[in-house]
Amino acid sequence: MSEQQVDILLADDSTADIEVVSKALKAENKNWQIESVRDGVEAVAFIFGRHNEPGHDLAHKPRMIMLDLKMPRLNGFQFLERLKSDPRTRDIPMVVLTSSPEHKDMDECSRLGASDYKVKPLTFDSYTKMVKEIANRWLEGSPSSE
């Protein structure tokens, strides 16, 4: 894991989705530092390190998080609840990228404090375009130039 500033933390148990998102982000040529984890437990450990208690410095505080809902061990809902309940991480933009178009899932993510909720598109081009737009919106404050 890198010691420099992490711009984007990807939390997804799908290797294919991590590869697509990583390639799309690298194609933007913004020199964003990207890290990925396979579930919510790894994500919490990455961010908080060994000092999981309030008042301790964080190991890594990403500028934004893209996460899947359906992850093993600690799912996206539980992860959102954990991070949004901690004042040290409450302000991190967290964008849910999921295959679930269910309104109950959207409503729950909104209630838990997700910054955005996006259903993963079925085509590669649509998926990469969406990822670029999300990153540019939350990290650069503008839509992608493409």
pLDDT tens digits for the chain (146 residues)? 445 678 999 999 999 999 999 999 999 888 899 999 999 999 999 998 866 665 567 778 899 999 999 999 999 999 999 999 999 899 999 999 999 999 999 999 999 999 999 999 999 999 999 999 999 999 987 554 44
- Record the tokens describing residue 131, joined without a space: 């990822």
Question: In whole angstroms, what is the distance from residue 144 CA to residue 126 CA?
Answer: 13
Digit-coded pLDDT (tens) for 69-79: 999 999 999 99
Q: How far is CA 59 from CA 3, 49, 62, 140, in A?
A: 9, 5, 10, 24
- Return phi, psi of residue 97, to 5°: -115, 115
pTM (2 d.p.):
0.88
Please choose, from the candidates 93, 138, 123, the residue with its C-alpha nearest in 3D space to the C-alpha of residue 20: 123
Class of the CATH-defined domain 8-140: alpha beta
